[in-house]
Amino acid sequence: MKALLPLLSLLFLGASNPAVPVERVEIVRTFPHDSHAFTEGLLYLDGKLYESTGMEGRSSIREVRLEDGKVVRQAVIPPQYFGEGLVNWGAKLISLTWQNGVGFIWDRATLKKTGEWRYPGEGWALTQNGREIVMSDGTPQLRFLDPNSLKELRRVTVTVNGSKLSRINELEWVKGDVLANIWETDRIARIDPATGRVKAWIDLGPLVSKVPRRGLDDVANGIAYDAKGDRLFVTGKNWPYLFQIRTVRR
């Protein structure tokens, strides 16, 4: 089955359709990454890398040093929860859990939990655009939330050539687009947040070929953008590397 995944991914995504351009990646730098981190959320802010990890009994919120991958600080999520996406808002970090319908609020300076919040359905990933928080839940829909109340404001359905795209996972807002890992594939969707249309695919195949995979779940997941330095970082679940990349249209 593992050998079939790339082919199945291409069929699932309609990657051969010329209507959706494909961007290739070039590696700018390679950094160490904790190979036991089941990466769910990733963000870069004020010179620091923050990461949320999943799996019951192993989930955490971390501050990670980019240069050597060392975990500087860590908050452990209670073992009954499967940690998911992560986003910053002001002095807070906001995180999701997968199937419990509960998220957590953390003080970014100390990583101490300061609150909880509730939402319907599953929680997969979070990002923000400076005005709203954007959430994925594994379906073709992106939820837009009020960043203070965390109440849902609206939804946008993600489509590829008119067909709905599901399994939308880790998110990052980059220069007006939403970049989204698609679960169990080697591609990132570049999404127009106003319409939900997939504008392009980013092919992570060249990175995946450099990563030893131990299992079917060790897939690409984790996107962070350094807006000040215009640097884009990607990694995966249990990957020993985090890559700084640039994208080039084929």
Residue 44's pLDDT band (cuts 50, 70, 90): very high
Spell out the SS3 assignment of the chain.
Answer: CHHHHHHHHHHHHCCCCCCCCEEEEEEEEEEECCCCCCEEEEEEECCEEEEEECCCCCCEEEEECCCCCCEEEEEECCCCCCEEEEEEECCEEEEEECCCCEEEEEECCCCCEEEEEECCCCCCEEEECCCCEEEECCCCEEEEECCCCCCEEEEEECEECCEECCCEEEEEEECCEEEEEECCCCEEEEECCCCCEEEEEEECHHHHCCCCCCCCCCCEEEEEEECCCCEEEEEECCCCEEEEEEEEEC
Vertex 16 angle, CA 13 and 18, to 5°: 110
What's the rounded Cα separation, in Å, for the pair 242 and 32? 6
Please state which CATH class domain 2-225 belongs to.
mainly beta
Q: Express each pLDDT in 76-135 by its tens digit.
A: 999 999 999 999 999 999 999 999 999 999 999 999 999 999 999 999 999 999 999 999
pTM here is: 0.90
> What's the pLDDT score for residue 5?
42
**Domain spans of the chain?**
2-225
CA distances from 129 to 57, 135, 164, 179, 186 (A): 31, 11, 23, 12, 25
> What's the pLDDT score for residue 216?
79
Residue 218's pLDDT band (cuts 50, 70, 90): confident
Of the candidates 127, 128, 229, 107, the one whose C-alpha atom is nearest the C-alpha of residue 169 is: 127
* 29: β partners: 244
> What's the pLDDT score for residue 3?
33
* 174: β partners: 177
Of the candidates 140, 111, 119, 134, the one whose C-alpha atom is nearest the C-alpha of residue 52 is: 111
Taking 60 as the threshold, does the pLDDT of residue 10 lie above it?
no
> What's the pLDDT score for residue 2?
31
Biggest CA–CA distance in the chain, Å, is 48
